[in-house]
């Protein structure tokens, strides 16, 4: 078993959501008028789906697969084994992220409530030629039985502000940094584990927030980032004991799930690119160049 690592201060962990159903069956939601119309035709499909006001909203706000739920639970178990059971969970408003956070709660045994923070949603530029997602409202989530959500949480960003404002990837990076700064300040002085459940870019940008790269962050990576940061990938940072303003990477804050031909471990050489002080963490077999 991986050694449980102690901390004195905050531990902040970024995580990508788990396997999404629309990447397995892109048209799974077609012809649904309510949740009772839903039928499984594959063993990897969830047994049931939440009811929502407009079922076509699943097109850009999908649910997890059954394996996705299981993988999130295993990731939560791994967090617990590493001494990283979340004390607080902040989550993107995407349903796949919320369901992932619930899986982590189940696996880790955490009693935290999920704080839905729009500032953790992925870059809005991905939807320039697509239907803008409509997320489940707090009322919809409550009516659908999502008891693990913190319905009293006052978010830092408003959903209505995301898509009208963001025109470039750099707008997203700025929003993400402001969100992490807000969350970190909210828990200043605490000894706690904070989990941020979002998207593939959550993992990459959290590292970018705490470490300076030798080159400016290249926005093109946001378009293909899922290739290097698999479902349920995590990355963790610990507050330094001697300098509370600094956070350092902790590669033992979580553990990956690995099976034949799949792992939740991110691509080291991609995520650590352009960061001199982390090059020693890149396995020699993984040394690639990303241009």
Question: Could you read off the pLDDT of 210-237 as tens digits, one per residue?
Answer: 999 999 888 888 989 999 999 999 999 9
Please identify every stretch of the chain with a pLDDT value under 70, giving residue numbers as ranges.
1-6, 244, 285-291
Q: What is the pLDDT of residue 198?
A: 99
Q: 193: which strand partners?
A: 11
Q: What is the pLDDT of residue 6?
A: 64
Q: Residue ranges of the domains in the chain?
A: 17-286
Cβ–Cβ < 8 Å for 105, 89: yes
Would you call 204 exposed, middle or buried from its count of C-beta atoms within 10 A (0-12, 13-18, 19+)? buried
Cβ–Cβ < 8 Å for 90, 194: yes
Grouping H, G, I as helix, E, B as strand and the rest as coil, residue 229 is coil
Grouping H, G, I as helix, E, B as strand and the rest as coil, residue 160 is helix
Phi and psi at residue 108, in whole multiples of 5°?
-90, -20
- Predicted confidence (pLDDT) per residue in 27-39, tens digit: 999 888 888 889 9
Quote the CA–CA distance of 72 and 201 in Å, as a whole number: 17
Cβ–Cβ < 8 Å for 231, 67: no
On whether the pTM is more than 0.85, the answer is yes
Cβ–Cβ < 8 Å for 91, 101: yes
DSSP 196-222: EEE-HHHHHHHHHHHS--SSPPPGGGG
Handedness of CA 209, 211, 216, 219 (dihedral sign): negative
Cβ–Cβ < 8 Å for 44, 64: no
Residues in the chain: 291
Q: What is the pLDDT of residue 291?
A: 46
Give the CATH H-level superfamily of domain 17-286: Phosphoglycerate mutase-like (3.40.50.1240)
């Amino acid at each position: 078993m991986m050694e449980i690592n102690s901390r004195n201060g905050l531990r902040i962990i970024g995580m990508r959501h788990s396997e999404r159903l629309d990447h397995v069956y892109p048209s799974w939601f077609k012809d649904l008028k309510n949740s009772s119309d839903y039928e499984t035709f594959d063993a990897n499909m969830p047994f049931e789906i939440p009811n929502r006001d407009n079922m076509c909203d699943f097109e850009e706000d999908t649910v997890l697969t059954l394996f996705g739920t299981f993988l999130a639970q295993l990731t939560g178990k791994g967090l617990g084994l590493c001494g990283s059971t979340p004390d607080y969970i902040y989550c993107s408003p995407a349903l796949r992220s919320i369901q992932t956070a619930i899986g982590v709660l189940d696996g880790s045994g955490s009693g935290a409530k999920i704080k839905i923070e729009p500032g953790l949603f992925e870059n809005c530029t991905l939807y320039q030629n697509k239907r803008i997602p409509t997320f489940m409202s707090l009322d919809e989530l409550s009516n659908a039985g999502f008891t693990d959500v913190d319905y009293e949480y006052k978010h830092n960003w408003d959903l209505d502000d995301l898509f009208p404002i963001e025109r470039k990837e750099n707008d997203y990076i700025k929003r993400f940094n402001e969100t992490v700064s807000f969350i970190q300040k909210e828990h200043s002085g605490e000894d706690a584990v904070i989990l941020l459940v979002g998207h593939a870019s959550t993992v990459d940008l959290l590292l970018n927030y705490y470490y300076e790269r030798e080159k400016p962050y290249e926005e093109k990576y946001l378009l293909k980032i899922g290739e290097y940061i698999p479902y349920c990938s995590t990355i963790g940072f610990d507050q330094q004991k001697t300098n509370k303003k600094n956070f350092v990477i902790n590669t033992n804050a979580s553990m990956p799930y690995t099976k034949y031909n799949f792992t939740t471990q991110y691509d080291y050489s991609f995520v650590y690119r352009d960061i001199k002080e982390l090059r020693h963490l890149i396995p020699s077999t993984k040394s690639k160049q990303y241009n």
